[in-house]
Amino acid sequence: MLGELHITTPPPHGGHLVDRVIRDPDEGKKMADGCSAVYDIKPTLYKDMPIRNVYREIMSICYGFFSPVEGSMRSEELERVLNERRLSSGWVFPYPMLFDISKEDLKKLGVVPGDRLLLRLKGQPFAVLDIEEIYNIDPLDVTTRTFGTVEKNPEVVVVPFDEKHPGYTIYKYFNTEVLAGKYTIINEPKLKPPFDRFWFPPAKSREEYKRRGWTTVINHQTRNVPHVGHEALMRNAAYIGDTKPCDGIQVNAIIGAKRIGDYPDEAIVESHEMVNLAGYVGPKRHLATMCLWDMRYGNPIESLLHGIIRQNMGCTHHMFGRDHAALGPYYDMYAAQTLWEKGIPSFGFPKPPYAVEKGLYMRPQNMAEFWYCPHCAEVTYSESCTHKGEFQRFSGSFIRSLLAEGIFPPSVIMRREVYQIVVKWWKQFGYPFNNKKYLTEREKELEVDLPKMEVPKFK
Amino acid sequence: MLGELHITTPPPHGGHLVDRVIRDPDEGKKMADGCSAVYDIKPTLYKDMPIRNVYREIMSICYGFFSPVEGSMRSEELERVLNERRLSSGWVFPYPMLFDISKEDLKKLGVVPGDRLLLRLKGQPFAVLDIEEIYNIDPLDVTTRTFGTVEKNPEVVVVPFDEKHPGYTIYKYFNTEVLAGKYTIINEPKLKPPFDRFWFPPAKSREEYKRRGWTTVINHQTRNVPHVGHEALMRNAAYIGDTKPCDGIQVNAIIGAKRIGDYPDEAIVESHEMVNLAGYVGPKRHLATMCLWDMRYGNPIESLLHGIIRQNMGCTHHMFGRDHAALGPYYDMYAAQTLWEKGIPSFGFPKPPYAVEKGLYMRPQNMAEFWYCPHCAEVTYSESCTHKGEFQRFSGSFIRSLLAEGIFPPSVIMRREVYQIVVKWWKQFGYPFNNKKYLTEREKELEVDLPKMEVPKFK
């Protein structure tokens, strides 16, 4: 007998959900008043374009998406993450989380360990950073060790990283000075529409699952408007579960700095919601959510973060396709699936993340490909359908080129209702995809508004 | 962490595969010579129609499908099966397995415990029964306790059983005298075409999985020609697995006494094979097989036997739909799923079969319903698709009525290639479904031929 293997709602990663949000404005103000300096958060730029904004990391940390991480990492923890993908506490974590500033800014601020630094966003107090350590990094070294190299990670790294890789660029253009310490949000931001209704921080998502009677929940990672192939992946992956298919299917969209030619984030979240509103996977079984994070496209490394985010949200399963969170030829197309099936020793995983000490509870669902087959007259799975010469692969760039030409995509490619969401935002932004104007304005506006909070000391 | 939960090929039920087949004709002949009497196997009749032939039980036992059962049960074991669904050894087993004969026949045979009885089939020596005990039963009592009653099994029995239920009728028309003891096949039968190529006794199916590199294999139970809904159930249930969907999908057709209006067994096995030949689930991932058994339609009880057969064959998972192996209103439509999700205490299962001592290794995949939805433009899952008023349920009797009228079923209902198999056997038998003539001839011919074996003693 295999034993009574009933899968239960997973514990938060590290044991408890981080909640570092002050909800009482008076208390928040008091904390701001106690700060010794103020710093205005600015995006990381690359060729004049915003590629990262640390505010998103602060949000994801303080609302518990990245539990058990509580702030910007100390130098000893950074080393351990880069060497073993482990926090100081031993819990698995994939990426450096750093509050990096320039030498000039550090000089201007004049802060030292023990100081509390006020972080301002869009001109308003947003969070504080309780400085524990100040140290400097070699961004190129951090970058290389974050993503790996062909020599050191031969199991999965195929081509050396370069500046065509957005994640590589993000880390390479980090500032050299790091302020390490815990973040606390002292002035709770308001998510703007349409993002507000997709905002389910872990404590809230867990409540929502409970309300819906969901125990087994599979997560679908997205940074796209769903075509019929994505929808099939999502629906079919969810037939995994315990003694029956998963109770719930969660889509979690990564919302953050995007590239020219991507779909606007607004269209991404609303089009996924439309999958349930239009009844393809009804709202009782489907939940569209989001997480703030500037995608690093780290494939296996990113998949670990995805596992952590979604385990914290309460998911029991995570689907991983080929080229998960990948871009370009750098990683092997099965890198994330390899990690979740047998581990990647060179990244610190002699076994999969759910089989190592202080690893994840989350179970993977490694999926092959879906394509449209005219013989089967439906979307079919590459491991089942054998109609070679007949089936046709879904191509995101083909679909984008149809849309850019104003061609209504056939329903075997994109659902009518999903397409209407693309059109809705197309009308709003003047183009179906992100252009420079959209990206620049989005970065100014961000996804949140901050309530006014007076801190006379830093007027 | 959940631990390294990799699912492995299950052990045979009870620990080892039963193999009670003598493959050396000389040895077989010697055993026949040592018999003290001979008995010609005859089918159980009900209203002149064959409803059971004990030869199928002997085949399934001796080839290991029903491991660890080795023969006709002794009275003490019968009691334990009826009371707790356990063999004397403690291993779970659902049904009485008995070699029953009439009082007259027993008198004629004049056998006593310790005797070896020769069993003849189609005029040829087939097997021997080493008699350990001779006792009598009250068939109605055995029947009632086999299927349960509204009073004693209120969790799942909804309507009292009667003679409209084929399994009830099978047991009710058992003979009263039981010869208990182990069977040994002494003259190996040859499966007739087309059944021969679907004959994968457990030792062979396990070899076949190994050859194909299959570890996770989900079984689909059938007694039908597959319509598109069955195919969807099979394909989609298989997305369960371990860290990826199941390597293999096995169809195991129950071949035995059938009812008027059922599809002929020949069409059933070949139409399932056609699912893979036509590439809907390619032959690399799909295997059509069979097992000899006169269906008892015992829903949860039958699902236990299905679990045992397929675990012995090497399957790791078994899909159970609503009304699994059911007929009529007797059991709750979720009875089998209830057993496999939480157990049925009144049948001896305070926990599911994989969570009790000496239970099964097999994991269930409890599936809801599939229907065709014109809005989704495909077969959809009842837990996902919400297009009420649009979707249409698959109805076996509707499809049968189309076929009976000679109407080519639309491809959203039945695959063209599958339909052609129905037509092939329709031409052979003069009608697409079993009629009295087919059933009577089938029962004379059976699924096997027996080599000639001279046993002068019993000329």
The residue ranges of every structural domain in chain B are: 25-190, 195-443
Question: What CATH class does A25-191+450-454 carry?
Answer: alpha beta
DSSP 8-state secondary structure symbol assigned to residue B226: -
CB contact under 8 A, A282 and B386: yes
Tell me whether A1 touches chain B (CB under 8 Å).
yes
Distance CA B309, CA B417 (A): 29
List beta partners, residue A219: A250, A318
Q: Which two tokens stand for residue A222?
A: 């997205």
Checking ipTM against 0.90, whether it exceeds it is yes
Looking at residue B5, its pLDDT comes to: 67
Closest of A447, A453, A439 to residue A56, by C-alpha: A447
Which residue from A279, A283, A384 is facing B387, i.e. has the nearest CB? A279
Distance CA A319, CA A363 (A): 9
Name residues 217-236 of chain A within 8 A of B (Cβ).
Answer: 235-236
CB contact under 8 A, A384 and B354: no
Q: Cα A395–A400–A403 angle (5° rounding)?
A: 130
Phi, psi of B114 (to 5 degrees): 100, -20
Q: Which fold has domain A195-443?
A: Rossmann fold (3.40.50)
Distance CA B254, CA B224 (A): 9
Whether B265 contacts B192, CB under 8 Å? no
Residues in chain B, pLDDT under 70: 1-5
- Find the helix or strand (DSSP H, E) in which B402 lies: helix B396-404
**Chains A–B, number of C-beta pairs less than 8 Å apart:** 146
Neighbours of A100 (CB within 10 A): 23
Looking at residue A440, its pLDDT comes to: 87
Phi, psi of B25 (to 5 degrees): -55, -35
Whether B326 contacts B299, CB under 8 Å? yes
Residues in chain B with CB shorter than 8 Å from the CB of A367 are 244-245
Which residue from B244, B341, B384 is facing A235, i.e. has the nearest CB? B384
Cis peptide before A96 (omega within 30 of 0): no
List beta partners, residue A29: none
pTM attached to this predicted model: 0.96
Within 13 A of B67's CA, how many CA atoms are on the CB side?
Answer: 22
CB contact under 8 A, B240 and A245: yes
B201–chain A nearest CA distance, Å: 22
Phi, psi of A287 (to 5 degrees): -140, 120
CB contact under 8 A, A366 and B243: yes
Residues in chain A with CB shorter than 8 Å from the CB of B279 are 375, 385-387
Residues in chain A, pLDDT under 50: 1
Distance CA A427, CA B129 (A): 82
Q: Which two tokens stand for residue B429?
A: 């038998």
Within 13 A of A443's CA, how many CA atoms are on the CB side?
Answer: 22
HEC profile for A153-201?
CCCCECCCCCCCCHHHHHHHCCCCEEEEEEEEECCCCEECCCHHHHCCC
Which residue from A237, A239, A286 is facing B237, i.e. has the nearest CB? A239
CATH 3.40.50.10490 given to domain B25-190 = no
A384–chain B nearest CA distance, Å: 4
Q: How far, in Å, are B193, B270, B419 from residue B424 at the CA level?
A: 14, 10, 9
Distance CA A25, CA A188 (A): 8
Distance CA B110, CA B448 (A): 29
Which residue from B286, B354, B380 is facing A1, i.e. has the nearest CB? B354
Contacts of A33 (CB under 8 A, 6+ apart): A455, A457
Tell me whether A379 touches chain B (CB under 8 Å).
yes
Distance CA A49, CA A45 (A): 5
Q: Is the dihedral of CA B395, B396, B397, B401 positive or negative?
A: positive
Name residues 240-269 of chain A within 8 A of B (Cβ).
Answer: 240-241, 243-245
